[in-house]
Structure 1
Amino acid sequence: MEKGINYLHDDWLSKSNKVTDLFNKKMALNSKYNASFDSMTDEQKTALKDEMAQAAKDYTDAVEARNWSKQLLEEARGSEKPASKKPVEPKKSEKELAKDIKNKFVADFKNMVTSGTMPDGSKILGDDSSAGLTIPDDVQTAIHTLVRQYASLESLVNIENVSTSHGSRVYEKLVDITPLVNLDDEKAQIGNIDDPKLTLIKYAIHRYAGITTATNTLLADTAENILGWLEQWAARKDVVTRNQAILAVMGKAPKKPTISNFDDIKDLENNTLDPAIIATSAFVTNQSGFNVLSKIKDANGNYLIQPNVTNPEVKQIGGNTVQVIADRWLPNVTGSHPLYFGDLKQGITLFDRQEMSVTPTNIGGGAFETDTTKIRFIDRFDVQLIDNGAFAAASFKAVADQTKATADQTKATAVSK
């Protein structure tokens, strides 16, 4: 084999030298052609062109022969190398990879409590000033799934996922649009039209944090149970935190009428928002408020709130859906029930950083003295009012039914027509 490899090596060197010689010949002919072209006869030009074409072909053939010789040499050398005996590990499925990530997260979680050491090797101080463990995507997805089961207001507003701690967005607000100018005069100058009014909205991601206490027996549980407990706890905390931030922005609605009778609700529905927004609008109230509204009747004895004809579980007022939130998530204010009407997705945006983190410790925050584990959860988001004309806020306590018109009122109405 050694003799064969030496022969292939010499053959490759020989063919490489031939390529070099033919290349030099081709370049010399090109130079002769460029320098003497004008002084040559037609026969000389034809002969030189033929010679250049043959030199180019010889060069191309030599390059192919050299490359083939090089390939044979490399294959011969490769056959002498011992085959790798390291077994090839099969690729893991996405489900298996996700499970590995979760298991590592739980292992780091336990290690942080038992040793007080972060995954990067740094120590957790008593005041626990570390950044904590970033919750894996799969676990965050499970948390968000649970969030929707706790009557979260998050589903009512627009959600935008962001990857930076701050930024800005430009929005076009709904404004009155003026018509084009009538130009019957052919010589009239065309003027400028009204430009869209743009609003700059800035967001800055805030950290919202909370701490809970767990017994150390939690750490003796399985990875699935630890993750299940964490997901349930984080989801509840997340709902309360985000609801509070969303409610604070919902309270910035400019129109806040007080509802006292049936017609006040119809005024809120028909005469507070732009008609373009009414088409996508909905009512939002809490459970106790819905109980009051569900008993209101019009002059003909029909209830204000009616079931959707295709889905009786969906309740409507004048064709607009009524969304009911539990009192614990959407509380009364000084004894008055809240009532919002509009398109909250157009009016409010929640900028979600999607970087939840959790940090446990059995040392700081009094955990050492009580033999417990303190677990801190941090969520990162911001809520901004985008269009204050997209919804209105009202309140009510008792709402009177619509009164029937008297005989004189009916007669007067008929005469006026």
Structure 2
Amino acid sequence: MKYEELKNTWITAGQKVSDAQNALQLALVDDEVSAETLKELKAKVEATKAKRDLAKEQLDEAEKEGVAQARQNLPTPIPNTAEAIKEQFVKDFKDMLTGTYSATLTTKLDENGNGVGLTIPQDIQTAVNKLKRQFDALEQYVDVIPVSNLSGTRVIEKLSEITPFKNIDDEEDTINDVDEPSAYILKYLIQRYAGISTITNTLLKESSEKIIEWVTDWLAKKSTATRNAKILAALDGLPASQKTTVTNVDDIKNVVNVKLDPALQTTAFYLTNQSGFNELDKVKDAFGHYLLQPNPQNATQKLLLSKPVVVISDKFLKNGGTASKPTYPLFIGDLKEAVKLFDREQMSLLMTNVGAGAFEKDQTKIRAIDRFDVRLWDEEAVVFTTFTKIDDEKPATQAS
């Protein structure tokens, strides 16, 4: 077997170990999973590890036999400047395309010892995060929590009905127990999300800046689409008590004034899509003026009842209903309190010219992996409303 095939076999085996370990982690936090199932999952983890280790031994043996002698160069010095890091990344990227990239020398390993491919440098990840804002990234409106572990827990304290202290002027009265805070544990488990793109060797002829620009743009688009979908899926889990329809301005006021906690009034905002914003932008107040007003602190944003309106593309936040009678989405509240995104901050690239049909078509496939988890945190911090049309305010009746 050729060196490249051995390398891809080893990398694939490592990913299977990660998948088996993730399945075991999910089972550990699932109360309905039986002990027998846990035993089977544990045995599967051990079996995949054995296969991964065997694939690594075969890869090492191939190197000893001279199959990969051209790859036995000494590791390059660790770059210590942003420019040097980018240059090293581009060099490794090109080496992966041409098949001269040595997995044993350069591939980073995760905490389980599995190959994760070419890790995206921090400064390029920062550029990806900045670019994602241009693609209507919902994660900029939720709370992003960097984590270093694959799984963990957070303790959430819920608001509960609080009773006052008891008057104990009577010497024979006893003191009641005070209210204890109501709390529950939220568990997160980092998931891996991947996408594949087909590239050609013409990319090798581009400058370092062009290659980084291509990688950054592609990662930003794919990561934005993936994280948006998971954030909206989490919000879809809101209970029925936090979902309603609105038909006029008073309905919106009822949501803001009654359904949202007063503590959220200063941080609450509206989130809708292009179509929903278009309908809101036509609503007029009792004096015939448009209800949406420019935000004096942000010229590109408008205010609805003194709170900012955030607009994202219809392709990310879709309409409901039918084409002839659509319903428009309108989230009201504070998404940073409602949703938590646990970010593993470990994006990576892997390439192959053998697997995924690349060998048959003489192509090169590049796969990006993003690692994160999204959880609904405070379900009372946001209300999901829908509307087909918001009626104009009726003019005030003049005194006779």
Q: Which letter maps to 2:362? A: D
Instruction: Kindly state the Cα deviation for residue 119 of structure 1 after the two structures are TM-superposed.
Output: 2.9
Indicate the residue corresponding to 1:258 in structure 2. 245
| Structure 1: distance between partners of 2:233 and 2:282 | 29
**Residue correspondence of structure 1 range 116-195 to structure 2 within 5 A:** 117-120=101-104, 131-195=116-180
Instruction: Kindly state the Cα deviation for residue 186 of structure 1 after the two structures are TM-superposed.
Output: 4.3
Instruction: Kindly state the Cα deviation for residue 96 of structure 1 after the two structures are TM-superposed.
Output: 5.3
Q: TM-score, normalised by structure 2?
A: 0.72
**Residue correspondence of structure 1 range 237-316 to structure 2 within 5 A:** 237-254=222-239, 255-316=242-303
Indicate the residue corresponding to 2:85 in structure 1. 101
Indicate the residue corresponding to 1:397 in structure 2. 388
Question: SS of the residue aligned with 2:389?
Answer: strand
Instruction: Kindly state the Cα deviation for residue 99 of structure 1 after the two structures are TM-superposed.
Output: 2.6
Indicate the residue corresponding to 1:201 in structure 2. 186
Indicate the residue corresponding to 1:53 in structure 2. none
| Structure 2: distance between partners of 1:391 and 1:188 | 43
The equivalent position to 1:350 in structure 2, one of 337, 341, 352, is 341
Q: Tell me, yes or no, if the aligned pair for 1:253 and 1:388 is still in contact at 8 Å.
A: yes
Q: TM-score, normalised by structure 1?
A: 0.69
Stretch of structure 1 that moved more, 110-119 or 393-402:
110-119
Distance 1:365 1:116, change over 3 A: farther
Q: Tell me, yes or no, if the aligned pair for 2:79 and 2:85 is still in contact at 8 Å.
A: no
Q: Tell me, yes or no, if the aligned pair for 1:101 and 1:136 is still in contact at 8 Å.
A: yes
Q: Tell me, yes or no, if the aligned pair for 2:275 and 2:328 is still in contact at 8 Å.
A: yes
Indicate the residue corresponding to 1:383 in structure 2. 374
**Runs of 5+ unmatched residues, structure 1:** 1-91, 124-128, 412-417
Distance 1:223 1:310, change over 3 A: closer
Instruction: Kindly state the Cα deviation for residue 272 of structure 1 after the two structures are TM-superposed.
Output: 1.4
Indicate the residue corresponding to 2:205 in structure 1. 220
Deviations 1:309-364 (A, max 9, x none): 45444321222111111212222123221100011111110000001011122222
Question: SS of the residue aligned with 1:132?
Answer: strand
| Structure 2: distance between partners of 1:229 and 1:310 | 34
| Structure 2: distance between partners of 1:108 and 1:264 | 57
| Structure 1: distance between partners of 2:203 and 2:360 | 17
Instruction: Kindly state the Cα deviation for residue 152 of structure 1 after the two structures are TM-superposed.
Output: 0.6
Q: Tell me, yes or no, if the aligned pair for 2:79 and 2:88 is still in contact at 8 Å.
A: no
Q: Which letter maps to 1:388? A: E
Stretch of structure 1 that moved more, 274-283 or 307-316:
307-316
Instruction: Kindly state the Cα deviation for residue 169 of structure 1 after the two structures are TM-superposed.
Output: 0.5
| Structure 1: distance between partners of 2:298 and 2:348 | 40
Distance 1:291 1:348, change over 3 A: same
Instruction: Kindly state the Cα deviation for residue 122 of structure 1 after the two structures are TM-superposed.
Output: 9.9
Deviations 1:341-388 (A, max 9, x none): 011111110000001011122222222343332110100000001110
Deviations 1:45-73 (A, max 9, x none): xxxxxxxxxxxxxxxxxxxxxxxxxxxxx
Q: Over aligned residues, Cα RMSD in angstroms?
A: 2.5
1:111 has 2:95 as partner: yes
Q: Which letter maps to 1:331? A: K
**Runs of 5+ unmatched residues, structure 2:** 1-76, 108-113
Question: SS of the residue aligned with 2:388?
Answer: strand
1:365 has 2:352 as partner: no
Deviations 1:217-267 (A, max 9, x none): 112222222111101100010100000000111122222111222322222
Distance 1:95 1:302, change over 3 A: farther
- The structure richer in helix per residue is 1
User: How many residues of Structure 1 are paired with residues of Structure 2 in the alignment?
Assistant: 312
| Structure 2: distance between partners of 1:303 and 1:229 | 42
